[in-house]
Chains A and B, each alone.
Chain A
Amino acid sequence: MKKKPALIYRMAAALICFSLSTAVAQENKSQQKLPNVQVKDLEGKLVNVSTFSNNGKPVIISFWATWCKPCISELESIADDYDNWKKTTGVKLIAISIDDARTSAGIKSLVSSRGWQYEVYNDYNKELYRALGIANVPYTVILNGDGAVVERHAGYNPGDEYHLLEAVKKISGL
């Protein structure tokens, strides 16, 4: 009986090594694209996320919800400077809300009153969210001009938007 815990720890250590090496391998390759999953636009029409594109320019995908305060803070602080972001890097921001039937009716009114210029979609039963293995919002993904995922970021702290812009600039070769 005494040997079991040691074995478990060894296996756990092996597991950690494996997942880290997997993670590193994934990061080096960085060729992951968005899965073939559909989300709803604000008119209720289904759109396949694998068709998201920005004419060879990078795309920021921000997962958010109407009830998530840090998400709204992040989108608000980007909105203040969004024209400038678009001008300097050509980036487009796509905001995908994970609001379900309880709060999804409020997406359009919230976006409209805040005057956000983003493309907004609703992942109404979290299909995309789950396919990407995301655990919490806010969560940000950057796609390069070819639509490959090159950056991921969990959470939001005030000031993260500057790092996001830096990352986008790096991708656009600026």
Chain B
Amino acid sequence: MKKMIFIVITITGISHISLAQEIPGKLSGGLESNNQYYVDDKATQAKAPRDKIATNSYFTLNYTLKNFYAGIQLESYLSALMGYPEGLKGTKLTHRFAGYRTDKIDITAGNFYEQYGNGLIFRSYEERQLGIDNMMDGVNVRFTPLKSIRFKASYGLQRVLMDNGEGIVRGADLELDPLDLLKIKHNWGLTIGGSVVNRYQKYTGPDDVFPPEVNAYSARFGLTHAHYDLNMEYVSKSADPTDLNKNIFKKGSVLYINQTITTNKGLSMDIAFRRMESMDFRTDRTQKDNIAVVNYLPALTKLYTYSLPNLYPYAAQSMGEIGGKADIYYHFKRGSTLGGRYGTKLSLTASLYRNLDTVRLKSKEGFRSAFWRFGPTALYNDVNISMERRWSPQIKTIFSYMNLNYNQGYIQGPGYGMVNANMAIADVLLNFDRKNALRVELQHLWTVDDEKNWAAALLEYSYAPGWSCFAGDMLNYQSKKIHYFSVGGAYNYKAARVSLSYGRQRAGLLCVGGICRMVPAYSGASLSFTYNF
């Protein structure tokens, strides 16, 4: 704590002086602090940890001077919020980097984030809410000799919790726009690309043929047109025995195909297919959960923002999964019969995932699977219809209905079964005047499985600019009859935001952007502060 404060004071002091003396260059950055006070709760059996106060804080500072840039990030977990990986603890200057950037070249030394293609082969990124930061520590180069030739090369160690891990990652990526390159006139945009990623981790065990290195290759193809887009990528990975896959020597692959179709008539859609097997790719073969992951394999399903659909969130199965998703949007124009005076927006989403059709093998390979065949076990499927309509300057509504089938046993672990649920949601926004607004959410979930029916309600009142408060409750009224209530408020002023809330959190999967972590049940007060400059 003392060390952290010293560092922060030094940094802010320097920034202060530099501004006062008008040293050239620009500073930007931000502070995020999330604090929690835990209490024991008999109803949910949530127990407060020994240290009842937990704080996760992040302070970033970036400096740029013409083509030069540099930055740092300080993180402190004193103590870490409940549910974060155990290894996140203490205070440390986790990021430090410097670089040089022009239109043609960008070189970063130190910590960097990078993504090749769709991230299926390599993506380093930060997701604070999930405790994910798989940033690299090494050298990254992006070279763009011509606009239509883009080359990236990266190497380094990966951050694992508070330190660098032992696995070494090297990679390169090339992307070309061949039609531009050959100066062929065209209405279509065409992009081809490919990547190679190698990871090495020392092996000291007894197996003579055990591979200390894993190689992955990817090829991708993109077409763009005013009304049509195609994005395809295929990744292949060499045998990668890990603790998680019980040390089988199975090669991995992912095939991803996405198409987007848009029209001038208010209809547009977006259809994705993905099949993957044995694609868990880490710098450390002994790790699990979201730690030391090299690539990005999110669940390709609709991201729900309401609380009840999020009781059963799908999590991508990197060992084996086949399926897809379709999103269709339609806009009834203003003034049409169904559009009304302000227009009506309809959306329809459906997704379906199954496991692979596999045969167990006695050899080291572990299993074999048919490429194009859907497996016998349903993992997840959902259908969602939603209608958004403004009725008058004062009233706007969103009505949604959905049905989902969730293989809870497969996704969350043994002891659970299949959940089939229906949900209806009404979301009403009342704009009383230019400052005062009230949003009301009513949700109901019907199921005979798991914790049976649920009901939820939320009221959110806002006074622009700046003030808002909310009160909500969620109740499994046919089973445990626990009220998962929460109340709170927030204040925004320019770049600053403070929020305070009190309530109960249910144990379960917390998902952000399709990546999930398990969170324990807890009760208590939470205070957050964010500011940037």
Contact = CB atoms under 8 A, between A and B. Distances in A.
B19 A29 contact: yes
A151 B30 contact: no
B189 interface: yes
A84 to B, nearest CB: 14
Describe B's contact surface by its main secondary structure: strand
B330 to A, nearest CB: 7
A155 B434 contact: no
A102 B351 CA distance: 14
Given A43-B224, A157-B464, A158-B431, A105 B329 contact: no
B493 to A, nearest CB: 8
B260 interface: yes
Given A36-B101, A125-B123, A108 B60 contact: no
A4 B5 CA distance: 13
A106 B270 contact: yes
Given A19-B12, A133-B62, A26 B494 contact: no
Interface string A102-114: 1101101110111
A160 B464 contact: yes
Interface stretch (B112-120, B160-168, B416-424): B112-120
A67 B303 contact: yes
A105 B268 CA distance: 12
Interface string A33-61: 10110000001111010000000000000
B258 A105 contact: yes
A22 B12 contact: yes
A130 B60 contact: yes
Contacts of B272: 105
B266 A113 contact: yes
A85 to B, nearest CB: 15
B497 A43 contact: no
B465 A157 contact: yes
Contact of A163 (B1, B19, B345, B465): B465
Which range holds the interface residue count of chain A?
A: 35 or more
B12 A15 contact: yes
B5 A159 contact: no
B514 to A, nearest CB: 4
Nearest to B229: A108
A132 interface: yes
A117 interface: no
Please indicate which of the listed interface residues B5, B465, B467 has the most CB atoms of chain A within 10 Å of its own CB. B465
Contacts of B496: 154
Contact of A100 (B12, B296, B299, B490): B296
Please indicate which of the listed interface residues A14, A109, A124, A151 has the most CB atoms of chain B within 10 Å of its own CB. A109
Contact of A158 (B9, B125, B437): B437
Contacts of B189: 43-45
A113 B331 contact: yes
A159 B462 contact: yes
Nearest to A79: B343
Given A101-B118, A103-B303, A152 B229 contact: no
Interface string B27-60: 1111110000000000000000000000000001
Contacts of B358: none
B305 A135 contact: no
Contacts of B229: 105, 108
A157 B432 CA distance: 13
A113 B5 contact: no
Contacts of B436: 159
Contacts of B497: 135-136, 154-155
Contacts of A69: 305
A1 interface: no
Given A18-B16, A44-B189, A133-B28, A105 B532 contact: no
Contacts of A66: 303
Contacts of A73: 429
Interface in A128-174: 130-136, 151-155, 157-160, 162-163
A23 B29 CA distance: 11
B530 interface: yes
B187 to A, nearest CB: 12
Contacts of B431: 158-159
Contacts of A7: 2
Interface string B202-230: 00000000000000000000101000010
A125 B125 contact: yes
A114 B346 CA distance: 10
Contacts of B90: none
A32 B19 CA distance: 12
A16 B12 CA distance: 9
B262 A108 contact: yes
B495 A154 contact: yes
A80 B301 CA distance: 30
Nearest to A19: B12
A125 B115 contact: yes
Q: Which 9 A-B pairs have the closest CB atoms?
A: A133-B30, A159-B464, A113-B329, A158-B437, A133-B532, A102-B298, A109-B268, A157-B462, A112-B262
Given A100-B298, A110-B268, A132-B532, 10 more contacts: A11-B6, A11-B9, A21-B16, A22-B15, A66-B303, A102-B513, A108-B262, A108-B268, A135-B530, A153-B495
